[in-house]
Structure 1
Amino acid sequence: MALKRMEWDLLLEPYRFNKEGDVFKPTVEPGRSPFSKDQDKIVFSSSFRRMSKKTQVHPMVNNDHIHTRLTHSVEVGSVGRSLGNIVGAKIVEADAQASFPSHYVGEIVQAACLAHDIGNPPFGHAGESAIQDWVSGKHSQLLSKVANDGKLTTHQLMDLKAFDGNAMGFRILTQLEYDSFKGGMRLSFPTLAAMLKYPWKSTHTEEIKKNKFSCLYPEVDIMNQICLKLGMLKRGDDRWARHPLAYLVEAADDICYNFLDLEDAREMRIVTLKEIRNVCDPLHTDDSKYLTYLDKENISDRRKIAYMRGKTIQVLINCVVETFMENYEAIMSGCFEGSLVDASCKKCKEAVDNADTLCKNKVFKHHRKIELEIGAYNAIGQMMDAFFLAAKELHECSGEFRSFKSERVLDLLGVKQPKKGQNLYEILLPFIDYLSGMTDNFATHISQQIQGQAVPDVTR
């Protein structure tokens, strides 16, 4: 009989894959939980380190105060840990079936937050859109023909057309980093499940009318094993209800990105302190110390914004915790829809919505960001042109002949280059892996080299 409610004794079991692909539960070491191990594995990985040179919102800036994907992920992890610790204590107190160390929740959520953007390509969401548009535009007819000839599955075709950094992140953690295709990082199942913001495959995007997914074709069995082992609720073939802690990971990201984007925008003089105060002040009408501090004239804008940010994040954390507990049974039953921030109190939701509106109207439309994103878009398109030509030649080649350029493009992948005899998806995917792992600097360098421009050598 199918489970009707998820249970914590399964949801927090620290299963992992070993190098042979078998599931096991390791012995817990004194003083070091399985989930703090996950954090260490993520933080020491090269994929995590490369996020220091990947765009969060503002590409290629010289101002060292501006967030990168790395600093954003660390801050989301900090907020996630606070959310998890508070929620964990409340669950243990309120749910008679919950008997686990409450700090485990904070550790899992923090680990998942640290890794939540690890699959994003260079240049932020502009890079993600560039890959999607390239596949759906320039070569969509050829890919569709290959699919119709039975050489690509519908799932494989949709993976390419709807490329998503969330799915690439899951692939990095479970396949690419550390032990390639032998368990990857071998993180615990609860951490991986908490990071599965969209626990379904690309072909479900049309069905649920949401163009997001967290699992590429080669990782479907991995996702299913994780979800099944943790007792998550099935919603169809290769589709699951979220792990309850995925809502906290999402909320930590929601809390951080809009308000910290505004902090960056003030640093770059795109928005004013007054505009940020118009967003945040309504959350603090009962806090006289807040208003007194911000009205002082001998304090810099940077210090005022840091103070405002801390106070605002604390209010939102408390609100999200309350919302989670109010919707606890719906979450545990897999029927809670939407995000915790969207379901939060009117005042908090309005503040987040107003921050989002200000970002869309002023930050995302700033001329510098637009100019650089157009350049980034073209850079990725040029790389994809070269990668696809090499993939197409390898796929169609009947002998050993390939053009010199395609041979050299294939050689960029080193030991991970695809082999003749694979289908077009299997040949293209290592190129997508390679591109997704690039920093902004390295992507710029490779695209310039492909165009034949003489540029100084850089080390990835």
Structure 2
Amino acid sequence: MNWEQLLSLKRFGDTNKRLRKEQDETRLGFEVDYDRVIFSSAFRSLQDKTQVIPLSKTDFIHTRLTHSLEVSVVGRSLGRIVGKKILEKHPHLKEVHGYHYNDFGAIVAVASLAHDIGNPPFGHSGEKAIGEYFKTGNGQKYKTKLTAKEYQDIIDFEGNANGFKLLTESRTGVEGGLRLSYATLGTFMKYPKESLPKKPTKHIADKKFGFFQTEKDFFSEVAEELGLLQTRDGKDISFSRHPLTYLVEAADDICYTIIDFEDGINLGLISEDYALEYLIKLVKDKINTKKYNEMVFMQDRLSYLRALAINTLITDAVAIFLENEEAILDGSFDVSLLDKSNYIAQIKDIISLSVSKVYKSQEVIEKEIAGYKIISDILDVYTNALVKTAEGTASNYDSIVLQTLPEHYQNTDAPLYNLLLNTCCYVASLSDSGAVHIHNKIMGKQL
């Protein structure tokens, strides 16, 4: 892969090449991508979606929105620092083509901003709940009517694939969705493959999948424009990652490692003394002891250690990326950047404590259970109504139910796979409280 091609400014529907040196610096294409994401309704819904603690009433606990904004800030720093070094190493990118290090930062920032945009309500358990409905619940009756890949798409419903759909899906009068640059779309794609074969290798890019069957052709177009390397022959579409995807992943890993841990402390799930000890181990060589000891309040000490930890891991991730640039460009770098971190032992300790004290806390488990029931019930009502309407066997109740769906989800003149996938995507679009509200309505608990 080569950087000039990887930094493509092309957008859906373009017939002419967009050259970087001809860009308006006041409205740079990659920065326009950021604006389009942040003003989208899908991004706004993240303000009421779970990061770790579902339906938390505590003001300082992170939602998907605050998490995404923080990941974007970290991603921008990673991109700019790496971009500066890449341009020093490959000066023709600036001298001939006009690229700047801020371009790298802008691309990584917007892909980071959008990285959770397709995630369902109730955190990662929301993804599992959608899949389980079709794998072991009432939705398994559709298995024989779908192809293997179509069925895999919905039983392993993937927020990343839904995110790509949200960013790119055409609707009447809105061709190409948000029409983001192909460089941004490629960077957004953590897992550039179909749902099958499942985990064919141990390469990080094969861990999950990144697009549904409905977006297969367009993703192939994006991948070919960017010069991503094909990693599989035959009918199974699979490409190498865009190099900047590693920086998006690192930004996400840094934020959830440190900030989910911080949420656990603020909630009282992790004791202050225990927590500060773990963070100090990560940044012990960077601490200004005099400054730290002068801080009276726990929040100040925690904020100081958090900032040091994030900066330490940013510096570490940049060094790993630059050391492995050649392997990243040829597709052979097969782990995340933080898997190669000098601080991997400290990171694992922090994550292990977060898992035991936060992710598996009673509050989280209880609300995840409720989320499973809510999502299953909503899927049951809407899939039945859509499929029966398409078959001409709808009851009056089914007809009434369909009227509660947003208009672009009501179309039943489509193959079964599209009907089922669209229902999954509708459920995924709901906020936590929105899902609860709709569930109460359809279950007759609220007038």
Normalising by the smaller structure, the TM-score range is over 0.9
Is 1:84–1:107's contact at 8 Å kept on the other side of the alignment? Answer: yes
Match of 2:178 in 1: 185
Tell me the distance in 1 between the aligned counterparts of 2:198 and 2:262: 33
> CA offsets, 1:266-313, max 9 Å, x none?
111111222222322123333351x334434x5211111111110000
Match runs of 1:38-117 below 5 Å = 38-95=33-90, 98-99=93-94, 100-117=99-116
Q: Give the 3 Å change call, closer, same or farther, for CA 10–179 of structure 1 in structure 2.
A: farther
1:295 aligns to 2:287 (yes or no): no
Alignment of 1:161-200 (within 5 A): 161-175=155-169, 182-200=175-193
One-letter code of the match for 2:153? D
Q: Alpha-carbon deviation of 1:42?
A: 0.7
Partner of 1:393: 388
Secondary structure of 1:158 counterpart: helix
Count of paired positions: 435
**Does structure 1 residue 268 correspond to structure 2 residue 267?**
yes
Q: Which residue of 1 aligns with 2:431?
A: 439
The secondary structure found in structure 1 opposite 2:200 is helix
Instruction: Tell me what 1:306 maps to.
Output: 303
The superposition leaves residues 363-419 of structure 1 with CA deviations (integer Å, 9 ceiling, x where unpaired) of 01211111111111111111011122113313433xxx4112211222222421354
- Percent identity of equivalent pairs: 37
Instruction: State the partner residue of 1:153.
Output: 147
2:226 — aligned with what?
A: 230
Q: Which amino acid aligns with 2:324?
A: N
Q: Distance in 2 between matches of 1:192 and 1:363?
A: 33
- The answer for the alignment partner of 2:351 in structure 1 is 356
Tell me the C-alpha RMSD between the 2 structures: 2.0
| 1:435-456 Cα deviation digits (max 9, x unpaired) | 111111110000111110026x
Distance 1:160 1:304 in 2: 45
Task: Check whether the contact 2:120–2:159 (CA below 8 A) recurs between aligned residues.
Answer: yes
Q: Is the 2:134–2:140 Cα contact (8 Å) retained in structure 1? A: no
Residue identity matched to 1:69: R
Report Cα offsets for 1:85-130 as digits up to 9, x if no partner: 0000111112355432111100100010000000001111111111
Shift of 1:421: 5.0
Contact 2:383/2:419, CA 8 A, preserved across alignment: no
1:391 and 1:424 in contact (8 A); partners too: no
Kept in 2, the 8 Å contact 1:7–1:97? The answer is no
1:17–1:24 Cα contact (<8 Å) kept:
no
Q: Is the 8 A contact 1:411 1:417 kept in 2?
A: no
Q: Which digits, 9 at most, give the CA deviation of each residue in 1:21-80, with x for residues without a partner?
A: 867638622322111100011111111111011111011112211111000000000000
Partners of 1:330 and 1:206 in 2: CA distance: 21
Residues of 2 paired with 1:22 and 1:262: CA distance?
Answer: 48
Task: Structure 2 unaligned segments of length 5 or more: list them.
Answer: none
| Distance in 2 (alpha carbons) for counterparts of 1:286 and 1:145 | 59
- Give secondary structure in 1 for the equivalent of 2:153: helix
Contiguous gaps of at least 5 residues in structure 1: 1-5, 147-151, 456-460
**C-alpha separation in 2, matches of 1:23 and 1:186:** 15
CA contact (8 A) 1:179 1:185 kept: no
| CA distance, structure 2, for counterparts of residue 179 and residue 278 of structure 1 | 55
Match of residue 8 from structure 1: 3
Closer/same/farther in 2, CA of residues 167 and 23 from structure 1, 3 Å limit: farther
Name the counterpart of 1:133: 132
Shifted more, 57-66 versus 134-143: the winner is: 134-143
Matched, 1:221 2:217: yes
Q: Give secondary structure in 2 for the equivalent of 1:204.
A: coil
Amino acid at match of 2:183: P
Contact 2:327 2:333 in 1 (8 A): yes
Structure 1 pair 94/299, CA: closer, same or farther in 2 (3 Å)?
Answer: same
In structure 2, C-alpha distance between the alignment counterparts of 1:67 and 1:250, rounded to whole Å:
18
When normalised by structure 1's length, the TM-score is 0.90
Distance 2:199 2:106 in 1: 34
CA separation of 1:340/1:105 partners in 2, compared to 1, >3 Å: closer, same or farther? same
Amino acid at match of 1:360: V
| Cα distance change of structure 1 residues 304 and 66 upon mapping to structure 2, 3 Å threshold | same
Q: 1:393 to 1:23 in 2, by over 3 A?
A: farther
Between stretches 136-145 and 72-81, larger displacement belongs to: 136-145
